[in-house]
Amino acid sequence: MIPRVLQTSGHLLALALPLAACAGFVACSSSSGDSGPPDPAGGIMPSDGDGDGGGANAETGTGTGTETDGSTVEAPSIPPPTACPTAKYNTLVIVGDSISDVGAGGGGAAQEPFYRKLLVQNDDAKYPDWKGFDLATCWGLDPTTGVVKVSKAGAVATLSSTNNPTDKGVLLNQVTGLPATLPGPVLVVGTIGGNDVTAGLVTAANGTPQQVQARIDAFTAGFGAAMTELTKPDRFGAGVKADVLMPNVYDPSGGTGHFYYEPKAASCPGALTIWPDKKETATALAQWNGAMSAEAAKHPGVTLLELNAPFASHAVSTPANTNWFYEDCIHPSSLGHNAVRGVFWAAMRALH
């Protein structure tokens, strides 16, 4: 199966999946009462099949945001929306890791509103040019009863040999634990991959090619198992259609390997400090990303989104007014979550 390509605002939503930060350099700390490290997104692009997201010139959208002091901060690269998605879904399922949960340390003003909440109900005061462009308005989706959230900070796709099916820190366990029936059609969105790459960082730096490949294969197998579960016939009830949108892994350094948080004029903290400064990062994890792309292409109904490209010019080392990262250099800031929302919105507009 050849995945289609989505072209958005000059960014090709193609199969290249450059690396991520938490996605490759650090296990993150957590959140919503759940223990375990958060991380950034795992991701991919559209595969053909029913409900896939092919098509050219799909829009993304973030627009500008208004800070609490009334000043306007720019979020270039992703324009504001112009229309609602034409395909309508009656249930939104949220899966994955900390980006789809509550970010770093449970969130806060520097990270919120989270993309998953903005998708459902826009913050009209903060993002006035998104007014009327949310799923509550466009689909009549109830923010409470229409949303099923099983994402958890620290989640991985890789399955351990002693996997406990009740452990919601594993993507497959999240999706197998979803209800057997949901009002359809069902749209599944989420982020995954960062913690898997993080766990393989030492191997990537010091291991043999065979050891690196073994970690990639384990990740790919777990990711594929979760996609198989989500897209199997009648997963959410007889005749219920389900589509899945997952973004690829972004690189907080924009591919440069320079993990320096410009808004605070400080080096990035934690495990990111072990990476040699300005040693480029994309090549090191191209194997992971390519394997994820190839696996996703096997699953009709799974759409792979390009998150890395729009984030590349808003890396941790950029000024505050264009920076899309929280001060931990891992998670999206509030502007970053608005950008993630825009990428998902574009993909929803491409569904049919």
- Report the pLDDT averaged over residues 272-276: 79
* 64-106 residue pLDDT tens: 444 433 333 444 467 789 999 999 999 999 999 999 999 999 8
Q: What are phi and psi of 158, to 5 degrees?
A: -60, 135
* 189-239 residue pLDDT tens: 999 988 887 788 778 777 889 998 999 899 999 999 999 999 999 999 999
* 38-66 residue pLDDT tens: 333 333 333 333 333 332 233 344 454 44
What is the pTM for the complete model shown?
0.81
SS3 291: helix
- Host H or E run for residue 149: strand 147-149
Would you say residue 123 has pLDDT above 90? yes
Q: Which two tokens stand for residue 349?
A: 């507009």
Write down all domains in the chain, each with its CATH number in brackets: 20-350 (3.40.50.1110)
When mean pLDDT is compared over 7-16, 206-215, 223-232, 295-304, the highest value belongs to: 223-232
Residue linked to tokens 């729009």:
310
SS3 213: helix
- Quickly count: other Cβ atoms within 10 Å of residue 138's Cβ: 17
Residue burial 310-332, b: 16+ Cβ < 10 Å; e: rest:
bbbebbbbbeeebbbbbbbbbbb
Among 18-27, 243-252, 300-309, the least confident range: 18-27
Residue burial 82-113, b: 16+ Cβ < 10 Å; e: rest:
eebbebebbbbbbbbbbbbbbbbbbbeeebbb
Q: Which two tokens stand for residue 250?
A: 């972004």
Would you say residue 18 has pLDDT above 50? no
Specify the higher pLDDT residue, 315 or 4.
Answer: 315
